[in-house]
């Protein structure tokens, strides 16, 4: 077969695309393995495996656009000039070790990059230039001014990449932000990233083009200036609660947040039925600020199909309907539920989807399983002191977190245990799908929590340990 034969479309059949690309690159390297192929593309072998899974598998991951482009470029240049000289040079261990001796600045690179992405996002949202373009190289058209901090972070990226023999992507902010939608280990394979367990971390969510929770966590340790986006969006809600007694406010908070997590998409009647159970100020806030019309890009004609597991809207993906909730896809195959007229539906706004709904999927899963065992579960007690507990005055308090990096998570909880501190038996629960996907997750996060009373375990282990009430 000729190396210049066209590749199958990656978005239609990711596996066929990869098989054809590997075959094309094998011309000059007869025994090219999948792991070698992954390294040449610049992704972790583990990630490549998830890209080759059948689309209906719960381990399946969509290849980021930039990885597809990289594969295509490799195949193009292999067929044009012969394989051996055109493969991407990988940083050798010897190259990498010079960084270990290098200036401490490199250690700060992940955090300073994370701070850059959160600053840029804030600028876009608060400067009113909230026009985001997805799918192309321009991420945030509203990005304008760069601070000295930003320039320093960009210069560090350039230096790190160039000395690893990789192209310079730190010179242009839009290009750099586009790379931030890939896992750090893919495009910034420096020791500071690997040693801190950050290889799997995305700084910008490739789907919704916002800094990830992990980027904000990293930046928080660096600039202390994050959380502003969240504060802005949720201030009105907190304000509406503040007019009530602390006990009532706690209760309304739990009710609203649980409703949000169970109802990422609602019709107007359903929303009205719920909000009218709330006091006026809270009602107005939820009704007017939490939900927005369903975007037409998610619709298949006049109707929308909702996921049978999490009730979020399903979208066409590689020819089949898939749930648009990441935590749901990680655990289940697609399972279409109700179909409703699209004009009646509204969905949660972007901030609520990110901060409440996505993390809430696993929280609900845990709460429902504990409730089935007869426990009296309280979700988000005391205005979110912890994700859930088993009742007032009871010893168990639980936070559930799905950070891709166990090191980042462990560090964060050791530094800021939050409401868990107030419980006799504080538990950190990791979704089963994440513990399956990341090797030794529980051991790694536990190592970072040494000396802390917080104990980490998987969701299934937590359910087993807490047993029946």
Binding site for Zn ion (CB under 5 A): 307, 309-310, 323, 325, 328
How many whole angstroms separate alpha carbon 277 and alpha carbon 434? 37
The H or E element that residue 305 is part of is strand 303-307
Angle between helices 105-126 and 213-222 (to 10 degrees): 120
How many whole angstroms separate alpha carbon 375 and alpha carbon 401? 21
Please give the distance of CA 270 from its chain centroid, rounded to a whole number.
29
Least separation in angstroms between residue 220's CB and Zn ion is 29
- Closer of 186 and 328 to Zn ion (Cβ): 328
- Closer of 325 and 404 to Zn ion (Cβ): 325
Least separation in angstroms between residue 339's CB and Zn ion is 15
| Phi and psi torsions of 220, nearest 5° | -60, -40
- Closer of 131 and 335 to Zn ion (Cβ): 335
Least separation in angstroms between residue 310's CB and Zn ion is 3
How many whole angstroms separate alpha carbon 309 and alpha carbon 332? 8
- Closer of 244 and 369 to Zn ion (Cβ): 369
How many whole angstroms separate alpha carbon 181 and alpha carbon 203? 6
Least separation in angstroms between residue 312's CB and Zn ion is 5
Cα(first)–Cα(last) distance of the chain, in Å? 64
Strand segments, DSSP code E, in 324-384 are 336-341, 345-348, 378-379
Least separation in angstroms between residue 218's CB and Zn ion is 28
**In Å, how far are 405, 411, 420, 457 from 444, measured between CA atoms?**
9, 11, 20, 11
Tokens of 365: 């899963």
Least separation in angstroms between residue 334's CB and Zn ion is 8
Tokens of 52: 């080759």
- Closer of 86 and 263 to Zn ion (Cβ): 263
- Closer of 86 and 325 to Zn ion (Cβ): 325
Least separation in angstroms between residue 328's CB and Zn ion is 3
- Closer of 59 and 195 to Zn ion (Cβ): 59
- Closer of 21 and 328 to Zn ion (Cβ): 328
How many whole angstroms separate alpha carbon 176 and alpha carbon 164? 17
Please give the distance of CA 61 from its chain centroid, rounded to a whole number.
12
How many whole angstroms separate alpha carbon 62 and alpha carbon 436? 18
- Given a contact cutoff of 8 angstroms between Cβ atoms, the answer to whether 52 and 18 are in contact is yes
Least separation in angstroms between residue 371's CB and Zn ion is 20
- Closer of 193 and 310 to Zn ion (Cβ): 310
3-34 b/e (C-beta count within 10 Å ≥ 16 → b): beeebbebeeebeebbebbbebbbeebeebee
Least separation in angstroms between residue 343's CB and Zn ion is 22
Instruction: Give the residue from 56, 14, 49 showing the smallest Cα distance to 33.
Output: 49
Please give the distance of CA 457 from its chain centroid, rounded to a whole number.
20
- Closer of 58 and 79 to Zn ion (Cβ): 58
């Amino acid at each position: 077969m000729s190396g210049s034969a066209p590749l199958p479309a990656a978005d239609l059949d990711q596996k066929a695309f990869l098989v054809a690309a590997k075959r094309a690159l094998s011309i000059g390297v007869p025994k090219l393995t999948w792991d070698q192929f992954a390294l040449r593309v610049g992704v972790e072998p583990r990630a490549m495996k998830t890209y080759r899974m059948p689309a209906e598998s719960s381990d399946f991951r969509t290849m980021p656009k930039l990885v597809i482009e990289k594969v295509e470029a490799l195949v193009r240049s292999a067929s044009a000039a012969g394989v051996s000289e055109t493969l991407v040079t990988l940083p050798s261990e010897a190259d990498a070790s010079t960084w270990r001796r290098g200036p401490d600045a490199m250690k700060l690179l992940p955090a300073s990059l994370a701070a850059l992405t959160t600053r840029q996002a804030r600028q876009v949202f608060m400067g009113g230039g909230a026009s985001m373009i997805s799918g192309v190289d321009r991420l945030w058209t509203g990005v304008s001014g760069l601070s000295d901090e930003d320039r320093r972070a960009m210069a560090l990226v350039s230096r790190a990449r160039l000395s690893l023999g990789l192209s310079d992507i730190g010179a242009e902010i839009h290009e750099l932000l586009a790379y931030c939608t890939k896992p750090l280990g893919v495009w910034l394979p420096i020791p500071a990233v690997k040693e801190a367990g950050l290889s799997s971390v995305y700084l910008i969510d490739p789907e919704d083009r916002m800094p990830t929770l992990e980027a904000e966590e990293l930046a928080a340790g660096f600039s202390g200036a994050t959380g502003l986006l969240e504060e802005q969006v949720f201030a009105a809600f907190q304000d509406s609660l503040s007019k009530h007694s602390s006990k009532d406010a706690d209760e309304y908070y739990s009710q609203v947040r649980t409703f949000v997590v169970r109802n990422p998409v609602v019709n107007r009647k359903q929303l009205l039925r719920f909000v009218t159970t709330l006091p006026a100020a809270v009602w107005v806030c939820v009704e007017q600020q939490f939900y927005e019309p369903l975007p037409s890009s998610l619709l298949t004609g006049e109707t929308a199909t909702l996921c049978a597991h999490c009730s979020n809207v399903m979208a066409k993906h590689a020819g089949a309907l898939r749930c648009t909730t990441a935590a749901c896809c990680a655990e289940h195959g697609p399972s279409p539920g109700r179909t409703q007229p699209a004009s009646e539906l509204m969905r949660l706004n972007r901030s609520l989807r990110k901060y409440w709904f996505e993390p809430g999927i696993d929280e609900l899963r845990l709460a429902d399983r504990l409730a089935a065992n007869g426990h009296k579960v309280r979700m988000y007690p005391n205005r979110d002191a912890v994700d859930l507990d088993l009742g007032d005055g009871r010893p168990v308090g639980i936070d559930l977190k799905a950070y891709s990096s166990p090191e980042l998570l462990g560090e964060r909880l050791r530094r800021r245990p939050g409401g868990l501190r107030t419980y006799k038996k504080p538990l950190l629960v990791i979704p089963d799908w994440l513990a399956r996907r990341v090797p030794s997750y529980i051991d790694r996060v536990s190592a970072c929590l040494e000396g802390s009373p917080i104990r980490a375990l998987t969701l299934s282990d937590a359910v087993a340990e807490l047993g029946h009430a």
